[in-house]
């Protein structure tokens, strides 16, 4: 997932990752309290560009105290830059207005990329305090640019004359996008409305920060404490040891702590034989954010939805969904609703069929059969899979050692298809001891950029998997590429290997697809760099990269037993691949449930937004109305911990399956054209990956494929369409 906040101060385009404390030797986490805004740290390393390779931030020199003064300095510089553009007495030209806006904000953008990325990957009390303080101020700074009447007047004059300017296609697109963004930001509103818009934006920034911090705190606070080892029957010895270590770390010597991930479903449920404990874990997971405690997010979400709806109406849209989707390839809420509603009945029917198979197993094997519940699904689905395909995850995981997956799988595929090479750089600083830095060399021998890999879960790191950029390149501004890849794999006890599930392997390939999108960027303007594409297009290239996880020659190279070095047996591999469509009814249904709830919430008017106490009832009603009220399969995220809709995926969680239509079609293109060939990779890179947002997204797909996409490939892949 490329999960991001975009600070687009129109003249400042910064794409960064969006959320306890862990003591390490890294200075970033050593400060217990926030630095007052007026206290500037001497020798602040964030005051100037890094002189490390490719502009890698000097993590060994950065402390949490550095951020407030660096952000304030960056905003002041950016304000002067914008004033110079807006007050320029010369007639507006593309170079002194649009290109100048693209050059502006470099100092602030550099600082914000480090700030936001660390706030998500390795936060602490200080960074969280900085987030709470600076989010409204940054929103106000952005508004001061987008609502600057002189600046808009210059831009509007250029926009009205655009046909006469003789601009190249990318420059024309930049002008049109800036004008559109200003209008969508309220540039044409009357002053009283603009003032209200400023208030809304500041409050939304504050609420978003609170939500992300509450979700992180709640997932840590909701860890399930287990008294005896007997209750953990089914977990591996390493998993039991990890639970014991986690409990000891929280002052519960002799007990065991099951930590939670941000999804509704929790990984231990597939292995734990103790049904009462499974129920406790599942119930705790679903209750997060709605328990009425200090981390309850329902009020934050209700207020956010009301403010979004009010802002959309003020800007001339019926709902926030209409506002959000205008910039996406889907274009309208109606198009998204039609797509989701068309898939939902097929997905639920498949989920119910899977549930019937699980119920039959329960009836046949349990001395006292019971009705299938949500906390039983993963445990018995694993049994069904073992019965059907004669393997379980414990049998497969020894062949998926994490470093081999990365080097001999993810990197090997990139070497074969794109000609890249990866060299570890242990001499360069990181923000945490678990992070590795790699230098990427292009096929011509030139250094393409740096990749940071950060794979282990920790209490200072938000949930999920994502990529982000610490540095971006564009022809206008120069620069280079520093990109990070994040997973949340539980760290095994000291000395134990890190063994992945096949799902985690696929996630690693997915996120590296985002990395490639960033590394290959070759555009003129920063606003179009890398993954700066419509939200419902950004997941497409990353989902394409998942195909190499199961590509025979790639699998053969990385799927080796961590002790013996033997390749995974072909018959076991065949069973793993045959099982890829297993449980797709469940997976598609839980995803669609979250997507449809997201769309429903954002198609409400201000007056229709549920109060905090009514949000879960609204969620339940939406599921019933759409035939998704199948209790054994809850939404992948319930609204109180649905972080996507507080970030860049509001009215946009549908994007994954929308992108998968393009992805499945592209995979078929590769197969039809000879598979893993350098010429195929180069074609994909040249026509699509390198172009970023510099051209219409669907036009880029057609440049690559030479035709319109076909959705049947996606449905067939998921087993939802019979030949």
Q: Using 50, 70 and 90 to split pLDDT, how confident is the model at 721?
A: low
Q: Are 295 and 221 in contact (CB under 8 A)?
A: yes
Q: Are 711 and 717 in contact (CB under 8 A)?
A: no
Question: Is residue 340 predicted with pLDDT exceeding 90?
Answer: yes
**How confident is the model at residue 124, as a pLDDT?**
94
Question: Is residue 11 predicted with pLDDT exceeding 70?
Answer: no
Q: Using 50, 70 and 90 to split pLDDT, how confident is the model at 473?
A: confident
CATH topology of domain 4-215: 1.10.1370
The pair of structure tokens assigned to 607 is 């007056």
**How confident is the model at residue 32, as a pLDDT?**
30
Question: Is residue 506 predicted with pLDDT exceeding 70?
Answer: yes
Question: Is residue 633 predicted with pLDDT exceeding 90?
Answer: yes
- Stretch 526-552: mean pLDDT: 94
**How confident is the model at residue 627, as a pLDDT?**
97
Q: Using 50, 70 and 90 to split pLDDT, how confident is the model at 443?
A: very high
Q: Are 140 and 132 in contact (CB under 8 A)?
A: no
DSSP state of 270: G
Nearest to 290 by CA among 19, 613, 620, 590: 613
DSSP state of 717: H
Q: To the nearest whole percent, how much of the chain has pLDDT over 70?
A: 94
Question: Is residue 16 predicted with pLDDT exceeding 90?
Answer: no
- Stretch 302-320: mean pLDDT: 97
**How confident is the model at residue 1, as a pLDDT?**
55
Q: Are 513 and 542 in contact (CB under 8 A)?
A: yes
Average pLDDT score over the chain = 91
What gap in Å lies between CA 232 and CA 70, rounded to an integer? 48
Worst-scoring range by mean pLDDT, 42-46, 232-236, 247-251, 671-675?
42-46
- The region that residue 54 occupies, defined by phi over 0 for left and psi between -120 and 50 for alpha, beta otherwise, is left
Q: What are phi and psi of 551, to 5 degrees?
A: -70, 130
Question: Is residue 712 predicted with pLDDT exceeding 90?
Answer: no
- Stretch 222-247: mean pLDDT: 95
Pairing of strands 466-471, 447-456: unpaired
Worst-scoring range by mean pLDDT, 118-122, 254-258, 391-395, 548-552?
391-395
The predicted-structure confidence for 76-124, as pLDDT tens digits, reads as follows: 999 999 999 999 999 999 999 999 999 999 999 999 999 999 999 999 9
DSSP state of 560: B
**How confident is the model at residue 21, as a pLDDT?**
26
Q: Using 50, 70 and 90 to split pLDDT, how confident is the model at 30?
A: very low
Domain ranges within the chain, ordered by starting residue: 4-215, 222-287, 297-365+582-653, 398-581+656-717
Question: Is residue 332 predicted with pLDDT exceeding 90?
Answer: yes
> Between 716 and 686, whose confidence is greater?
686
**How confident is the model at residue 370, as a pLDDT?**
97
Worst-scoring range by mean pLDDT, 207-216, 219-228, 485-494, 706-715?
706-715
**How confident is the model at residue 377, as a pLDDT?**
98
What gap in Å lies between CA 542 and CA 656, rounded to an integer? 10
Nearest to 529 by CA among 102, 142, 175, 193: 102
**How confident is the model at residue 19, as a pLDDT?**
29
CB-side neighbour CA atoms (13 Å) of 121: 34
> Between 390 and 288, whose confidence is greater?
288
Q: For residue 365, with 0-12 CB atoms within 10 Å meaning exposed, 13-18 middle and 19 or more buried, which class applies?
A: exposed
Q: Using 50, 70 and 90 to split pLDDT, how confident is the model at 220?
A: confident
Cβ of 673: how many Cβ atoms within 10 Å? Answer: 11
Q: What is the CATH number of domain 398-581+656-717?
A: 1.10.1370.40
Please give the full DSSP string across 368-408, using - where no structure is assigned: S-----HHHHHHHHHHHHHHHHS--HHHHGGG-BHHHIIII
Q: For residue 123, with 0-12 CB atoms within 10 Å meaning exposed, 13-18 middle and 19 or more buried, which class applies?
A: buried
Worst-scoring range by mean pLDDT, 19-28, 575-584, 617-626, 651-660?
19-28
Q: Using 50, 70 and 90 to split pLDDT, how confident is the model at 166?
A: very high
**How confident is the model at residue 716, as a pLDDT?**
81
Question: Is residue 157 predicted with pLDDT exceeding 70?
Answer: yes
- Stretch 556-566: mean pLDDT: 95
- Stretch 662-684: mean pLDDT: 95
Q: DSSP 3-state assignment of 573? A: helix
What gap in Å lies between CA 201 and CA 293, rounded to an integer? 27
Catalytically active residues, by annotation:
511
**How confident is the model at residue 723, as a pLDDT?**
52
**How confident is the model at residue 391, as a pLDDT?**
78
Question: Is residue 308 predicted with pLDDT exceeding 90?
Answer: yes
4-215 and 297-365+582-653, same CATH topology:
yes
What gap in Å lies between CA 380 and CA 385, rounded to an integer? 8
Q: Using 50, 70 and 90 to split pLDDT, how confident is the model at 209?
A: very high
Pairing of strands 436-441, 421-424: antiparallel
**How confident is the model at residue 349, as a pLDDT?**
95
What gap in Å lies between CA 388 and CA 354, rounded to an integer? 12
**How confident is the model at residue 577, as a pLDDT?**
81
CATH of 297-365+582-653, one of 1.10.1530.10, 1.10.1370.10, 4.10.80.40, 1.10.10.60: 1.10.1370.10
Helix 615-625 to helix 584-601 angle, to the nearest 10 degrees? Answer: 120
Question: Is residue 560 predicted with pLDDT exceeding 90?
Answer: yes
> Between 198 and 389, whose confidence is greater?
198
């Amino acid at each position: 997932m490329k999960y991001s906040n975009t600070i687009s101060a129109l003249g400042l385009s910064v794409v960064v990752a969006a959320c306890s404390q862990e003591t390490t030797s890294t200075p970033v986490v050593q400060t217990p309290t926030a630095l007052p805004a007026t206290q500037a740290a001497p020798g602040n390393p964030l005051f100037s560009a890094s002189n490390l390779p490719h502009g890698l931030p000097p993590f060994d020199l950065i402390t949490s105290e550095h951020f407030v003064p660096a952000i304030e300095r960056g905003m002041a510089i950016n304000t002067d830059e914008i004033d110079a553009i807006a007050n320029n007495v010369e007639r507006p030209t593309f170079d002194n207005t649009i290109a100048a806006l693209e050059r502006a904000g470099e100092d602030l953008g550099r600082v914000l990329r480090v700030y936001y990325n660390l706030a998500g990957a390795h936060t602490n009390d200080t960074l969280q305090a900085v987030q709470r303080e600076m989010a409204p101020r940054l929103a106000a700074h952005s508004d001061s640019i987008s609502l600057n009447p002189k600046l808009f007047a210059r831009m509007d004059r250029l926009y009205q004359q655009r046909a006469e300017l003789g601009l190249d296609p990318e420059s024309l697109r930049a002008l049109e996008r800036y004008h559109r963004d200003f209008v969508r930001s309220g540039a044409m509103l009357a002053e009283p409305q603009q003032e209200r818009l400023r208030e809304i934006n500041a409050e939304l920034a504050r609420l978003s920060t609170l939500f992300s911090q509450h979700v992180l705190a709640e997932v840590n606070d909701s860890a399930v404490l287990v008294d005896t080892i007997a209750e953990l029957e089914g977990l591996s010895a390493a998993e039991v040891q990890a639970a014991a270590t986690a409990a000891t770390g929280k002052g519960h010597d002799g007990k065991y702590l099951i930590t939670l991930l941000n999804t509704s479903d929790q990984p231990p449920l597939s292995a734990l034989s103790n049904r009462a404990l499974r129920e406790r874990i599942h119930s705790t997971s679903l209750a997060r954010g709605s328990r009425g405690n200090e981390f309850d997010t329902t009020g934050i979400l209700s207020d956010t939805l009301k403010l979004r709806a009010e802002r959309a109406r003020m800007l001339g849209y019926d709902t926030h969904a209409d506002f959000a989707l205008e910039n996406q390839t889907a274009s309208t809420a109606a198009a998204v609703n039609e797509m989701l509603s068309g898939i939902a009945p097929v997905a639920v029917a498949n989920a119910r069929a899977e549930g019937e198979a699980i119920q039959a197993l329960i009836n046949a094997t349990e001395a006292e059969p019971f009705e299938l519940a949500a906390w039983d699904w993963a445990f018995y689905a694993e049994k069904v899979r073992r019965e059907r395909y004669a393997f379980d995850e414990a049998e497969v995981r020894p062949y998926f050692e994490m470093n081999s997956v990365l080097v001999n799988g993810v990197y090997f595929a990139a070497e074969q298809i794109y000609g890249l090479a990866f060299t570890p750089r242990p001499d360069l600083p990181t923000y945490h001891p678990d992070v590795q830095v790699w230098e990427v060399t292009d096929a011509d021998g030139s250094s393409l950029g740096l990749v940071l890999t950060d794979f282990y879960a920790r209490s200072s790191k938000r949930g999920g998997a994502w990529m982000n950029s610490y540095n971006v390149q564009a022809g206008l501004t120069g620069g280079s590429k520093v990109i990070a890849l994040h997973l949340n794999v539980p760290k095994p006890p000291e000395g134990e290997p890190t063994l992945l599930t096949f799902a985690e392997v696929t996630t690693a390939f997915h996120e590296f697809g985002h990395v490639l999108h960033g590394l290959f960027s070759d555009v003129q303007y920063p606003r179009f760099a890398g993954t700066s594409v419509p939200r419902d297009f950004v997941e497409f290239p990353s989902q394409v990269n998942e195909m190499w996880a199961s590509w025979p020659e790639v699998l053969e190279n990385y799927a080796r037993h961590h002790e013996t070095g033997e390749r995974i047996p072909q018959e076991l591999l065949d069973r793993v691949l045959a099982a890829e469509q297993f449980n797709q009814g469940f997976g598609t249904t839980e995803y669609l449930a979250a997507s449809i709830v997201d769309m429903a919430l954002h198609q409400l008017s201000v007056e229709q937004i549920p109060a905090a106490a009514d949000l879960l009832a609204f969620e339940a009603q939406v599921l019933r109305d759409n035939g998704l009220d199948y209790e054994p399969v809850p939404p992948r995220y319930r609204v109180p911990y649905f972080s996507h809709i507080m970030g860049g995926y509001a009215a946009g969680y549908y994007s994954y399956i929308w992108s998968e239509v393009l992805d499945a079609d592209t995979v078929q293109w590769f197969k039809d054209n000879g598979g893993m060939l350098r010429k195929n990779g180069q074609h994909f890179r040249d026509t699509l990956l390198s172009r970023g947002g510099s051209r219409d997204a669907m036009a880029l797909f057609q440049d690559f494929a030479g035709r319109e996409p076909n959705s049947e490939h996606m449905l067939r892949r998921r087993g939802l369409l019979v030949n």
